[in-house]
Amino acid sequence: MDEKLHLLVELQKLDSDILTLRLKIDSMPSHIAAEEAPYKEAVKAFETARQQQLSLEKKKKDKERLIEDLTEKIRKLKARSSEIKTNKEYQANLKEVEAVEAEISSAEDDILSIMEVIEAASKSTEADNARLAEAKAGVEALNKKKEKEIRFIEQELLSLKEKRKQFSERIEPDLYKLYMNLLKSGRGLAVAEAKKERCGGCNMNIPPQLFVEIKLGGTIFQCPQCRRILFYEKPALENNETAGRN
């Protein structure tokens, strides 16, 4: 293979590896978000349940205050009974006391019902809280793992970029400019393998005579369709036969 073509092939390999690593880093936040989504939904559900529990606690306190107010009302009504002069007034006072006592009884029943719901919710909240703590630890561990992976990838990128710099400096400026233009127009693929008379970049047919010349590897050839630079990789069997003849 021509030295110029060899350098371009190696540069393409490096750029492909660099692009793969960059895509890994770019996709990491979405992967992390996907992993965290169930935990965040669980936190949201937990907070909703917690708010409902707090609302029940408030409702219970409101009922307790109502009972206190009604109890005070009964005390006043009973205290006023000593001032009553007629039987009619006494009966009216008695009915009012009974009505307030019935209201107190209803409020007490409500409190008992609320307490049952609160107790069940508390048990559920405790279990959910334990599960959330475990899930949170899992998410934090995942984030640390991803951060470590990102640091490792960034180190790999630095190494690959250094190698790329060394290769690019050995390529003629005009040829390197062509390569970079093709890299951009070819969506990260400027150099493609020619195989079975097809371009590995656009998968279109290569004229037979051109394919023969590409196989010889003596110069730079481009795909007639996508303009990518083409190279031919000898199969292992063909390499062994060539070595045997030599």
47: confidence class by pLDDT, cuts 50, 70, 90: confident
What share of the chain in percent tops pLDDT 70?
A: 95
Please, what is the average pLDDT of the chain? 88
Q: How many Cα atoms sit within 13 Å of 194 on the Cβ side?
A: 27
CB 220 within 8 A of CB 194: no
Query: What pLDDT is recorded for position 243?
Result: 45
- In whole angstroms, what separates CA 236 from the centre of its chain? 43
Residue 35 or 229, more confident: 229
Residues comprising the chain, all counted: 246
User: DSSP H helical segments within 81-217, as ranges?
Assistant: 87-168, 173-185, 208-216
115: pLDDT strictly greater than 80: yes
How many Cβ atoms sit within 10 Å of the Cβ of residue 241? 12
Give the fold, CATH level 3, of 25-162: Helix Hairpins (1.10.287)
Residue 51 or 173, more confident: 173
- Mean pLDDT of the 147-164 span: 95
Residue 122 or 76, more confident: 76
Residue 240 or 92, more confident: 92
35: pLDDT strictly greater than 90: no
102: confidence class by pLDDT, cuts 50, 70, 90: very high
Rounded CA separation 180/96 (Å): 94
19-32 pLDDT tens trace: 999 999 999 888 88
178-235 pLDDT tens trace: 999 999 999 999 999 999 999 999 999 999 999 999 998 878 999 999 999 999 988 7
- Mean pLDDT of the 47-60 span: 88
Domain boundaries, the chain: 25-162, 173-245
Q: Which of 32-41, 101-110, 112-121 has the lowest mean pLDDT?
A: 32-41
CB 14 within 8 A of CB 159: no
242: confidence class by pLDDT, cuts 50, 70, 90: very low
237: confidence class by pLDDT, cuts 50, 70, 90: low
> For 82, which DSSP code?
G
Strands 191-195 and 221-222: unpaired
> For 190, which DSSP code?
S
- Mean pLDDT of the 130-147 span: 86
Rounded CA separation 106/32 (Å): 52
